[in-house]
Structure 1
Amino acid sequence: MAHFPIIIDFRKISGHSQIVDALSKSFDAVPNDTVHFTINLNTYSMLYSDHLVLIGSTVNHLRNIGVTVTGNFDDFRSASGQVRYASRVNFFEQIGFAYEEAYVRQNTSGRFTEIKKFDDDSALDIHKEIVTILLKDAINEDMMTVLEYCLWEVIDNTIRHSRSDGTVYNGYGYISCQYFPNKKQVRIIIADNGQGIHKALTTHPNSKYKLLNEVEALDQSVDKGVTNSTGMGFGLWATATLIRENGGKLIIHSGNHSLEIDNNKSVTNTSKWQGAYTYIRVNTDVSVTYDKIFDNDGQKNAFEELKENLLGNLDDLW
């Protein structure tokens, strides 16, 4: 039985890649091994729920495969803003840490979601909850309809492709969303610890991409029409196009490589993430219209049909 000490100090963390650096060794653990987390939640800037999702997802993955997970918090300040925030977005609940909240919870009021686990049964409700955040002051309807389509495609990819046993629609993941009105930004993350993009794209018997290596699979995952044959291969391409037009940021990390899209596109060698996570940051004051994404009537009609099936009348959300 092996023991893996994992140290995460948010005073030294500025991005998702540094959290993966800290977590990466834990993915070598096998049943009956022990992983011990030491976490310092204090920061010199802000604590983000999309960072905490990566930790919560990993802790639950390890427990699910039979690894013993223990942990402690370093310099834990129970009344600090960081601790209260972590509790409010349900991080402590996700990792199984008992923390008694000494405050009254206020309604999220369309500003953020708690960290949530989703599967095929719960995905639509969570998707609608995030759309209410996008609708409430954050994004105009034209932009929102494009983003909610892309969001659903990423959620659906996780449910459809994260399992490695050949089944579809049996996957699950973790998600969070927060709107920052002062920064005019929305941050969303969808994370799983499944088989990863390379295996999902190359091992399906009808896939045209069986010969791709991990770098090629990740790089081409955002190209139009790339799919393992179970979908249209449009969702990640639409998401990447949206990000470019909006001036936001997209990160897709799977295995030992991370793809980043902002004004440029790059794939870099990184520490290992078991499965895949997709981080989306959009600027709420930069609208992206249909015609930037949908270049023919067939695509636009398919989008409108999906929108209607998912949401119906947007007014019904209120």
Structure 2
Amino acid sequence: MPDVGDFRYYDEWDLWSAGRGSLGTEPEIHDHVRRVFAIQTAMSAPLLAPTRLLHSAQSSTSQHAYEIARIAMEEGRGRDVWVSVVGDTHFWSAGNELDAHMGLLDQLEPAGWLLTVARPQNSWPSVVSPTEVAGLMRTVFALSKEYEVIIGHGDLQALPAVAAGATTVGTGWDVRQRICAYPDYASRDGGSDGGRWFERRTLEILLGALMPNEYSVLLDQDLSRAERLTQGIIASGPGNVFSHHARTLTSIIEELNLLTGKARVDRYRDRLQAARAEWVEVQRITGCTSAASQWIDPLLAGVDQFVVDEGW
């Protein structure tokens, strides 16, 4: 990633025989993959192939990412190996080039997929492109017909991918677990890891979140609305706030996982449209700045593009 430099914990692992990141030759790739798989096996974790960040779906870097995945499948020696694909907005918006790259990877027949969108900013909600949303949905829809697909660092903004067939998304108590952002891997001053509880309150019906003071205003001004949008009242305290957030994501994903195909996408689209209508009054009451224009509109536009592309 650009400006990456926080290697304090990463360098505790013996991942390289040569210098960190040395993947220039096939023997170096084999060596790195073996070391990664040895650690994963010792942890009794599934085997997950390493990869490279992609800015383009048709480039020397994307070809290199394919070679890493291919060698990982060889090193798996018949065991189940998952493949990672990590790309920025441009990558996931690449249309036919994206389809060609994923089609090549799909021929490797991995046990499952971990897909991630990398972003230049760590704001939440992220700045999302409708073409990126449609591209990720199209990829998930194709892959999930045969394999399990997980969206890493996805959180609420990866729910379109769940609608397309992903089984679950990555989240966390720290915003860095909800967004895969370049600044979060930069060098840190003073040895601090910068970890902190993320205390925005997640409202299920809104498919979004409010700042603590905004949520307090909503409780004070319209308690019944707050209870309905939140599906109950969120208890104070960072641990409770995150537990509620995780339960909210689980509830939405479990609902979508009961459906398949067009019905699954239609159900999520209905949720987006309902959320968009609710945000109008919530924004009036609380004065919040992040509303439907950030939480809903780009996702809904991406879902609509996907629906058109599929001829539904």
TM-score range, shorter chain: 0.3 to 0.5
TM-score by length of 2: 0.32
Greater fraction of residues in helix: 2
Return the index of the structure with the highest Cα Rg: 2
